[in-house]
Amino acid sequence: MIEAAGRFAPSPSGPLHIGSLLAATASYLDARSRGGRWRLRIDDLDSYRIVAGAEDSILEALENHELNWDGPVIRQSERLDHYQHALDALADMGQVFYCSCSRRDLRGTPIYPGCCRSQTKPVADAAIRLHVGEAEVAFTDLIAGKQSDRLAHSCGDFVIRRRDGLMAYQLATAVDDGDPTITHVVRGGDLLDNTARQIHLMSLLGLSVPVYAHVRTLLSEDGKKLSKQTHARALDNATAAANLVETLVFLGLTPPHDAARWSPSEVLEWAIGHFEVDTVPSGTVIYRRGPVF
């Protein structure tokens, strides 16, 4: 039997904030409460979004919160051959085509209309899309429940290699999360929409599909997703235990009233003993700054 393993996969586009810590903590607790391993992967493919120093700051924040990962840090930028291999395999299956549409051509069409589907031979200056056909993906999310997605109606033929030559997020993530050593993917609820595309890719590539669980998305008071782009405040490592306690409350737990004064490892130890993924709330919630106690 394969040992359980989860992963946390931040992109180095800024420091961790409370929303990313929530995903990290949830994934860590899920893995540890199963007696499994917890891996750290840096999703650094999109060189345009990388911020100098962000990876170091993420590692430092995780260390300060005593969210200790197993094994070496994995970087997507060091795994390009795996993604190329997957892309070649999809091309061999006749599942891909070359899309010359500009962003402007596709403006106002959220679902790709299929105009380049006949371009099955390589052309210069084109994105590569996956022909989704009538694919329908059903899965049960441990937190969000039963999901079903007919890709042609939700996203259409999606990009797996960008026009600028970068491997697309969907393909790289499917290859990495489809590794048989990853059994559970616990991540932010904003990624639930992406899951069917990734499962579809994993199925085509003969990879192992992990179990998914999507935690709540934290919103700022104006209703936008808390993110680096909406200037979410960087975590203060000096209040690591209190930060962890905040995330536990969003995971539906009720830590003891003095837990914010414990060490981070004591908070995590308590939480491992109390975490139950099927009682974690789903959906979105407004994050109001300030201590919860």
Residues in binding contact with Zn ion, number by CB under 5 A? 4
Instruction: Choose, by CB under 5 A, the member of 101, 135, 166, 204 that binds Zn ion.
Output: 101
Select the span of 78-86, 99-107, 244-252, 258-266 touching Zn ion (CB under 5 A).
99-107
How is the beta sheet containing 5-8 ordered, strand by strand? Answer: 5-8, 37-42, 74-75
Nearer to Zn ion, 86 or 116 (CB): 116
User: Nearest-CA neighbor of 82 among 2, 171, 185?
Assistant: 171
Nearer to Zn ion, 116 or 226 (CB): 116
Residues 210 and 148 sit within 8 Å (Cβ to Cβ): no
Subset of 112-171 contacting Zn ion (CB under 5 A): 115-116
Phi/psi-derived region of residue 245, left when phi > 0, alpha when psi is between -120 and 50, beta in every other case: alpha
99 makes contact with Zn ion (CB under 5 A): yes
Select the span of 41-49, 82-90, 92-100, 166-174 touching Zn ion (CB under 5 A).
92-100
| Least gap, CB of 46 to Zn ion (angstroms) | 21
Nearer to Zn ion, 171 or 191 (CB): 171
Q: Which string of x and - marks every residue 185-204 that binds Zn ion (by CB under 5 A)?
A: --------------------
Question: Cα–Cα distance between 1 and 210 in angstroms, integer?
Answer: 14
- What is the torsion angle, in degrees rounded to the nearest 10, for the CA atoms of residue 216, residue 218, residue 221 and residue 227? -150
| Least gap, CB of 79 to Zn ion (angstroms) | 27
- Classified as helix, coil or strand, 229 is coil
Hey, what are 109's tokens? 């069409």
Subset of 103-122 contacting Zn ion (CB under 5 A): 115-116
- Classified as helix, coil or strand, 184 is strand
Q: Which string of x and - marks every residue 40-59 that binds Zn ion (by CB under 5 A)?
A: --------------------
User: Nearest-CA neighbor of 141 among 40, 39, 210?
Assistant: 210
| Least gap, CB of 137 to Zn ion (angstroms) | 23
Hey, what are 121's tokens? 């031979």
Select the span of 93-101, 174-182, 258-266, 285-293 touching Zn ion (CB under 5 A).
93-101
Question: Cα–Cα distance between 173 and 169 in angstroms, integer?
Answer: 6
Hey, what are 37's tokens? 């391993």
Question: Cα–Cα distance between 146 and 162 in angstroms, integer?
Answer: 31
Hey, what are 248's tokens? 């536990």
| Least gap, CB of 100 to Zn ion (angstroms) | 6
Nearer to Zn ion, 51 or 123 (CB): 123
Nearer to Zn ion, 38 or 112 (CB): 112
Nearer to Zn ion, 99 or 192 (CB): 99
State which amino acid sits at residue 112.
Answer: Y
Nearer to Zn ion, 101 or 211 (CB): 101
| Residues that bind Zn ion in the complex, under the rule CB under 5 A | 99, 101, 115-116
